[in-house]
Structure 1
Amino acid sequence: MEQYRLEIWGEMCPIPLIKAQKKLKTMAIGDMLIMETEHSCTSQGIVVWAKKNKYMIEETEIDNGIWHLELTKTHT
């Protein structure tokens, strides 16, 4: 399993989601994409999209207003 980090600080949806979708295409099943954001709407948007598309995702608010996302590729 590989871990990848995606820089999405200061970006609002749909840009972070588009970046995540593009990166997922290059990843193998079981790989993890790690993202952090200071925008709750970005975090929520990615979580909703991931669940809808049957990806594993963990969202943690690691500090007041800072969200850490771990998105695991589960299928092609």
Structure 2
Amino acid sequence: MARFEIEIWGEMCPIPLIKAKKKLLSMECGDILVLETEHSCTSRGIVVWAKANRYLIEEEEVANGIWHLELTKTHD
């Protein structure tokens, strides 16, 4: 299992979701993709997409207005 991070600070959807989808293509099942954002709409959009596409996702507001997401690749 590997952990990857992509930079999405200051970006609004759909750019963070496009970056996440692209990175997931190169990851193995069980790998984790870590994202942090200061935009609640970006966080929510990624969470909704991940759940709809059967990925595991954990979302936590780690500071006022800062969301930490951990998306686990569960399938190809």
TM-score by length of 1: 1.00
1:29 maps to: 29
- Residue 53 of structure 1: CA displacement? 0.1
2:43 maps to: 43
Within 2, Cα distance between the matches of 1:5 and 1:49? Answer: 18
Q: Would you say how many aligned residue pairs link Structure 1 and Structure 2?
A: 76
Query: Secondary structure at 1:7's aligned position in 2?
Result: coil
2:29 partner letter: I
**Superposed, which structure 2 residues align to 1:1-76 within 5 Å?**
1-76=1-76
Unaligned runs of 5+ in 1: none
Unaligned runs of 5+ in 2: none
2:64 partner letter: N
CA-based RMSD: 0.2
- Residue 66 of structure 1: CA displacement? 0.1
1:39 partner letter: H
- Residue 60 of structure 1: CA displacement? 0.2
List, as ranges, runs of 4+ consecutive aligned residues in structure 1 with deviation greater than 4 Å. none
- Residue 3 of structure 1: CA displacement? 0.1
Within 2, Cα distance between the matches of 1:53 and 1:5? Answer: 20
Counting aligned pairs with the same residue, the percent is: 72
Within 2, Cα distance between the matches of 1:15 and 1:47? Answer: 14
